[in-house]
Amino acid sequence: DTAVSQTPKYLVTQMGNDKSIKCEQNLGHDTMYWYKQDSKKFLKIMFSYNNKELIINETVPNRFSPKSPDKAHLNLHINSLELGDSAVYFCASSQDIGGFGTEAFFGQGTRLTVV
């Protein structure tokens, strides 16, 4: 059983397109996150949601819009894709906000390539 699952695993698309990445966790956690890993492997938080409520929005362009229909799902929609959006996007979840006192579990990542 996959604890945090993301789809798709790979996504290749042209500049200007709109795409979505889906994430689901079956751990019963209250908090979910999106992280971006750039070509140098640097991991930076983009968003976090707690019980469907936005907690963190880390100066991400508004072309990125997270959606949390319920606390088990956090999807990421990206409008007007740019070359610089190429990266690996990781979804994660934890029991508490920020993961304090607990650990974060990560999905397998979505490698987005914008051409």
Partner 1 sequence: AQSVSQHNHHVILSEAASLELGCNYSYGGTVNLFWYVQYPGQHLQLLLKYFSGDPLVKGIKGFEAEFIKSKFSFNLRKPSVQWSDTAEYFCAVVTGGGNKLTFGTGTQLKVEL
Q: Given the rule CB under 8 A, which residues bind partner 1?
A: 33, 40-45, 48, 55-56, 90, 92, 94, 97-101, 103-109
Nearer to partner 1, 16 or 32 (CB): 32
Q: How far apart are CA 54 and CA 114, in angstroms?
A: 27
Smallest distance from partner 1 to CB 12, Å: 16
DSSP 1: -
Nearer to partner 1, 15 or 54 (CB): 54
Nearer to partner 1, 48 or 68 (CB): 48
Smallest distance from partner 1 to CB 9, Å: 10
Bond before 61 cis per omega within 30 degrees? no
Please report, for residues 53, 60, 75, the alpha-carbon distance to residue 16 in angstroms, rounded to integers and kept in the order given.
29, 17, 19
Please report, for residues 18, 19, 115, the alpha-carbon distance to residue 11 in angstroms, rounded to integers and kept in the order given.
12, 9, 11
Smallest distance from partner 1 to CB 18, Å: 25
